[in-house]
Structure 1
Amino acid sequence: SKHLRSRQKKAQSSYSDVTEYAQELFLGMAVIRAFNKEYTSWKRFIKVNEKNYENNLDVVRIDSLLTPLTYMAPFVCYALNMYVCGQAIINGELTVGEFVALNGYVMLVIGPIMAIGSLTSVLQKGLASLERMEEFFELPQEEIQEQVGHLPLEDIHIEGLNFAYATSKEPILKDVSMHIPKGAFIGIVGGPGSGKSTLFKLLLDIQHAPKHSIYFGSTDIQDIPLSTLRHSIAYASSTPSLLSVSIRDNIQFGYTNGKDLSMTIEEAAQRAGLFRDLEERIEGNRKYDHLEEGGTDVSGGQRQRISLARAFFKDAPYLLLDDAFSALDAHSLCHILDTLRSNTEQTIICISQRLEALEGADCIYVFHEGHIVESGTHSELLQQKGMYHQLVMLQKRGDSHEN
């Protein structure tokens, strides 16, 4: 039974691999065709599917052995009983009536024994599924409430923040301290893996920050109800997730029930520069106006602007932008930056690899290997001739080559 359970668990895992890879193939169809990798992708799918086939075949082998044994064993016992009892009758040790009664008892037992054998197979398969599900059951549950208030707009204090993922040996953030005044526009730059996005996960409490490390005003982030915290923060990323509904419905996705609408969908779309090329789809009601799965029928820059409009429409006290300008054209970037810089009623924290987007920031923090190595305004950091200056020079050199 233990062998059946372990093999069933492997079979379920390999089936998960097949469905996951199939989903990747469908979502990445354009890239596969562009690189002429249909045959390579097909061969890899065959390999993944063959592994799934072998694992399921192992389950069938044990199951096919267990089932005949389950059905044969009771009848073998019945045949032995007939032989032994027959010899006893011949020797005068057992009467015919006792023989008939004993056979009746044996027949009554055979049915449950066969059922137990079948149940064992089903039980072991079920236990294998339960072991996989328990991994999710053991995750801590978040308590989300619908009707919650917003945090007031206050300074954010980060004091000596150290954080490491459970699967990581080294901390991803090391002794990070920041003071973010309310209503400020803060920029964050740094290389891959320097801890920028991890900081946003901590501010959103997707990952839990250590106690006494992040404060909104004088309140520790761990003492703020999760629903209140997340309703107080608007978020836009470089890879936005769009729903297969209209652009208007995507924009108002962040609407909180009972919240007074201080901004209309049109105003949010205008701030994100959507009317320049998507006006008809925003104002229309035709089936055509619904986005395809993942927003694949709009460009990368348009997806980012829809995501930004969603964040603007939420009109939360705090706005987190995680490289949300990476796919924007120059015209859209200038329009959105002008909108952000004129906003003093919202604290904006912006991660960006496009350094021109941060030139007007009140303060820029430079991350490197989990540490803050520099901080200051754009002009102050250029005068320091440090890492930020190097990044600016490299980016300007790249722009000159493109021109």
Structure 2
Amino acid sequence: MFIPYYTGKVIDILGSRYREAKFYTAISLMALFSMASSLSAGCRGGLFTLTIVRLTQRLRVLLFRAVVQQEIGFFESTKTGEITSRLATDTALMSRSIALNVNVFLRSLMKAVGIYCFMLNLSWQLTLFTLIDTPITALIQEIYNRYYESVVKEVQDSIARSSHLAGETVHAIRTVRSFGTEQEEAERYGARLLETHRLKTRRDMIRALYLLAHRLTKLAVQVIMLYCGQHLIRTGQMSSGNLVSFIIYQEESGRYIQSLVHMYGDMIHSMGAAEKVFQYLDRKSTVPTEGDLKPKDFKGHVHFQNVSFSYPTRPDVSVLKDVSFELRPGKVTALVGPSGGGKTTCISLLERFYEPQAGEILLDGRPLRDYDHKYLHTKISLVGQEPVLFARSVAENVAFGLRDYSMEDVETAAQEAHADPFIQQMERKYRTDVGEAGGTLAGGQKQRIAIARALVRRPQLLVLDEASSCLDIESEHKVQETLSRMRGQTVLVVAHRLKTVEDADKIVVIEEGRVVEEGNHRQLMEREGAYHRLVQRLFTQNGDVN
């Protein structure tokens, strides 16, 4: 702030009777203040750059933690591209805006106050005149913000849509390739990018008009100020050096006032991003995981008690209607019925992916929601028909979610799942990376690793949802032997293999969301009811599904 002041002093010294001592004093002070200013600016900029990096990291961790704790219905109604866009783009924009605006605000406010003090000292008349520029600038900024904010939100939503399309296409690349729709998908992605481009062009046009109006206003004020300044010099109210100092101060004050106003506009620009980030951060899961029950004596006795359920995305369609049945410890229970009858939904409710709208699911006589989330899922293990593997090693996939485990535990579980033979044939054995979503493995191999991942936990309740649909006869036989050796465990099976179903201790037949029959294979076949019709219709002579 002192540099323009001494610049004017130097001009006055050179323009009047030259005094060497005053000249060197002014030059030395200018050099000293310049060095101090540069050092302070470097330290301030470095500290705020570090702040931006740390804040971005913290925001992304907080947002990711909040997202993964949401219920499954949230992910069904929210596109993956939107979530990744919030994590990658909006958090960076939000943290940069916060840290940068604090930096700009402190710097601009201090300099603006100091500069106006110098300007009042040089000429109070010109200072009052320059204040006219402030309300005009604020009015232009307000009009600009009003139109700019809505366009920015549209741009962010458009970017999220294009990100979702790209992610969806890459994830389903096998389907895209099999139908030969590469060109069509590229055109769809291009259309989304064109939409984003149009919105960005509209946004940039608004900004260009704003800059034009702002600079024209600034130019008009400078012309009028120079005219008034020459009048003050002619009347002896200020010197030429003071006018030069005042002009420099006026330039700087305009820049800092503009920074303060722009900071407000930038906050408006980032409000759309921050609003979406905070929506996710503040959102509470509709399936709470706040239970604290961790019993030492866990039996695994499950009781579905008059359960009714509709999916959040289809609230008007009842998937389960007053469903009641039991899973007893040490027994194998099979769920059978036509597709869409509600079998997988029962498993999803047992895993607490959703909360039933009516009824209760009791585990050892206590509601599922009373149990600690982490504890519950160490006691219950699920193997799905299409198991998901991660781009990690075989051992890491088998031990997924376990903190304390040994390679011996992993190998034992793999042997029980009949996965060890093909793992031993891999180049790096248990350290082999399985690729994105297990893409380097066959369907049956992925299922065996998923079964090993369930068995390594030694769960008290094992849930198998078409877990052997891709297995060959030998592998399925080995897995069945492993399950038959288990003692005291509760096993729930959904299968389309007659051998698996008829060996179950109890069979529950579900049709159209209702339990229509219960009993073992022999009892249900003798009744010649729904189960008998299902066997006659669906199972082939060798026991497989048509």
TM-score normalised to structure 2 length: 0.63
Shift of 1:26: 2.9
Shift of 1:292: 1.4
1:126 equivalent to 2:270? Answer yes
Shift of 1:331: 2.6
Q: How far, CA to CA, are the matches of 1:232 and 1:397 in structure 2?
A: 36
- Counterpart for residue 220 of structure 1: 367
* Structure 2 counterpart of 1:268, from 413, 416, 421: 413
- Counterpart for residue 364 of structure 1: 507
* Structure 2 counterpart of 1:203, from 336, 350, 361: 350
- Counterpart for residue 331 of structure 1: 474
1:185 equivalent to 2:332? Answer yes
Aligned residues: 394
Question: What SS does the aligned partner of 2:274 have?
Answer: helix
Change (3 A) 1:50 1:397: farther
Q: How far, CA to CA, are the matches of 1:68 and 1:118 in structure 2?
A: 15
Q: How far, CA to CA, are the matches of 1:72 and 1:290 in structure 2?
A: 62
Q: How far, CA to CA, are the matches of 1:209 and 1:139 in structure 2?
A: 20
Contact map agreement 1:150 1:228 (CA 8 A) in 2: no
In the alignment, residue 278 of structure 1 is paired with which amino acid?
I
Question: What SS does the aligned partner of 1:253 have?
Answer: coil
Instruction: Report which of the two structures shows the higher radius of gyration computed on alpha carbons.
Output: 2
Post-superposition Cα deviations, 1:193-220, rounded to whole Å, max 9, x if no partner, equal 4333332232222323469712111222
Q: Which has the higher helix share?
A: 2
- Counterpart for residue 307 of structure 2: 161
1:291 equivalent to 2:439? Answer no
Change (3 A) 1:344 1:114: same
Post-superposition Cα deviations, 1:95-129, rounded to whole Å, max 9, x if no partner, equal 95599699788656522342244324422231111
Contact map agreement 1:156 1:215 (CA 8 A) in 2: yes
Shift of 1:70: 3.9
Shift of 1:86: 8.1
In the alignment, residue 302 of structure 1 is paired with which amino acid?
Q
Q: How far, CA to CA, are the matches of 2:545 and 2:512 in structure 1?
A: 30
Contact map agreement 1:202 1:208 (CA 8 A) in 2: yes
In the alignment, residue 429 of structure 2 is paired with which amino acid?
G
Contact map agreement 2:497 2:545 (CA 8 A) in 1: no
- Counterpart for residue 135 of structure 1: 279
| Structure 2 unpaired stretches of 5+ | 1-144
Which range is displaced more, 377-386 or 293-302?
377-386
Contact map agreement 1:150 1:232 (CA 8 A) in 2: no
Contact map agreement 1:323 1:353 (CA 8 A) in 2: yes
- Counterpart for residue 453 of structure 2: 310
- Counterpart for residue 207 of structure 2: 63
1:235 equivalent to 2:235? Answer no
Which range is displaced more, 118-127 or 153-162?
118-127
Contact map agreement 2:148 2:269 (CA 8 A) in 1: yes
Post-superposition Cα deviations, 1:179-237, rounded to whole Å, max 9, x if no partner, equal 11112211123344433333223222232346971211122222222222122111111
* Structure 1 counterpart of 2:195, from 41, 48, 51: 51
Shift of 1:296: 0.7
Q: How far, CA to CA, are the matches of 1:366 and 1:71 in structure 2?
A: 77
Post-superposition Cα deviations, 1:57-98, rounded to whole Å, max 9, x if no partner, equal 333333333343344433344445667x58998xx9x99559
Post-superposition Cα deviations, 1:224-278, rounded to whole Å, max 9, x if no partner, equal 2222212211111122221222212211224343x7x798222211221113433
RMSD after superposition? 3.7
Question: What SS does the aligned partner of 2:437 have?
Answer: helix
Question: What SS does the aligned partner of 1:264 have?
Answer: helix
In the alignment, residue 363 of structure 1 is paired with which amino acid?
K
Shift of 1:307: 0.5
1:374 equivalent to 2:517? Answer yes
Contact map agreement 1:70 1:117 (CA 8 A) in 2: no
Q: How far, CA to CA, are the matches of 2:373 and 2:430 in structure 1?
A: 36
Change (3 A) 1:110 1:38: same
Q: How far, CA to CA, are the matches of 1:177 and 1:263 in structure 2?
A: 40
In the alignment, residue 374 of structure 2 is paired with which amino acid?
S
Question: What SS does the aligned partner of 2:399 have?
Answer: helix
| Structure 1 unpaired stretches of 5+ | none
Question: What SS does the aligned partner of 2:426 have?
Answer: helix
Which range is displaced more, 162-171 or 307-316?
162-171
